[in-house]
Amino acid sequence: MKPFVFVKKIFTHYKKIPDILAGRITTYLHNKNHTSNNKTTPSKVQINTIQAFLDRVGIKNGDVLFVHSSWENLNSGLITAPDLIKTLINQVGEAGTLAMPAIPNTPQINGAIFNVKRTPSAAGMLTEVFRRYPNVKRSINLNHSVCALGEKAEYLTKDHHLSETSWDTNSPYYRLGEFENAWIVGLGVGHRLQVATSLHCVESALWKESPYFKKLFRNQVCYEFKDSQGEIGQHCYKQRTGQIYTPKIAKYFSKDELIEETIDGLEVYAIKAKTLIERTVALGKEGKTMYVWPIPWPWLFKSK
């Protein structure tokens, strides 16, 4: 190996160390400071207690429901994935829409191939069972694909392969915020918005005007996809970097806005998508962000 190439590889490797350390520290702090004392793994949750939580939140027929889940925490032995999906579908009814992440289990690298009908979801067992559900639509996006079923499914998923970033205005995540009755719910994925992908709409909305958020999208990935009709296409997207600590942003939501409970040992939360997206974008313009690395220096949030 040539000396220059060797030195370059060493430099690239060590340059990643602060990012890795920041990620590990924030994960540790989140688990230490924001894990419910009543959490158990696995939980003892049942279908009726999940349904009761959705009822208390006010999720009803005709609503849009986006669910993040962890089957490791959900799997009490008292429920099955198909039964839970049926419950969620019934909660929003025929006029409503159920959606979940369906992140492909394919490496996110240049030249990857994504088959929208065949590539499994790596976002948890519940999402993979839902992906195979009859009439479910799936967005074309190697980075953060989404599956949806119901009234708004086509609108949510149809343009994701046109996104410059995976959470911009063409994405299902951003489009959730267009509906007054769209909810984001977490089942077993922690509190304080530890998993809430629509949080990334803020950098997708502001990266062209904010020097800080622009730093997060330095690389581009181009891949090939096969759509539901078997047609071949190509999509390129900006790949996000950086480390986050979501309690930094969760504190700006009231208990009535960000509803958090622990039911039968399962941490759950619910928040209106519109509230989440609009608030975080407004905060992002003020330099208030969930990011900890790269360091969010105040002067980097000034518009061009």
The list of the chain residues with pLDDT below 70 reads 1-15, 303-304
Compute the distance between CA of residue 250 and CA of residue 57 in angstroms, rounded to an integer.
18
Does some domain include residue 6?
Answer: no
Cα–chain-centroid distance for residue 31?
19
| Residues 99, 146 contacting (CB under 8 angstroms) | yes
pLDDT in the model for residue 292 = 96
pLDDT, one tens digit per residue, over 144-176 is 999 999 999 999 999 999 999 999 999 999 999
pLDDT in the model for residue 187 = 98
Compute the distance between CA of residue 134 and CA of residue 138 in angstroms, rounded to an integer.
12
pLDDT in the model for residue 304 = 59
Compute the distance between CA of residue 50 and CA of residue 127 in angstroms, rounded to an integer.
17
| Residues 241, 218 contacting (CB under 8 angstroms) | yes
Does some domain include residue 153?
Answer: yes
Does some domain include residue 205?
Answer: yes
Compute the distance between CA of residue 54 and CA of residue 89 in angstroms, rounded to an integer.
12
DSSP letter, residue 151 = T
Compute the distance between CA of residue 84 and CA of residue 86 in angstroms, rounded to an integer.
5
Does some domain include residue 246?
Answer: yes
pLDDT in the model for residue 1 = 52
Does some domain include residue 223?
Answer: yes
pLDDT in the model for residue 5 = 43
| Residues 243, 292 contacting (CB under 8 angstroms) | yes
- The number of domains in the chain is 1
Q: Which residues form the domain of 282?
A: 39-301
Compute the distance between CA of residue 62 and CA of residue 296 in angstroms, rounded to an integer.
40
pLDDT in the model for residue 15 = 61
Q: Where are the beta strands (DSSP E) in the chain?
A: 64-69, 97-101, 113-115, 137-138, 146-150, 182-187, 219-226, 232-239, 243-244, 259-263, 266-272, 291-293
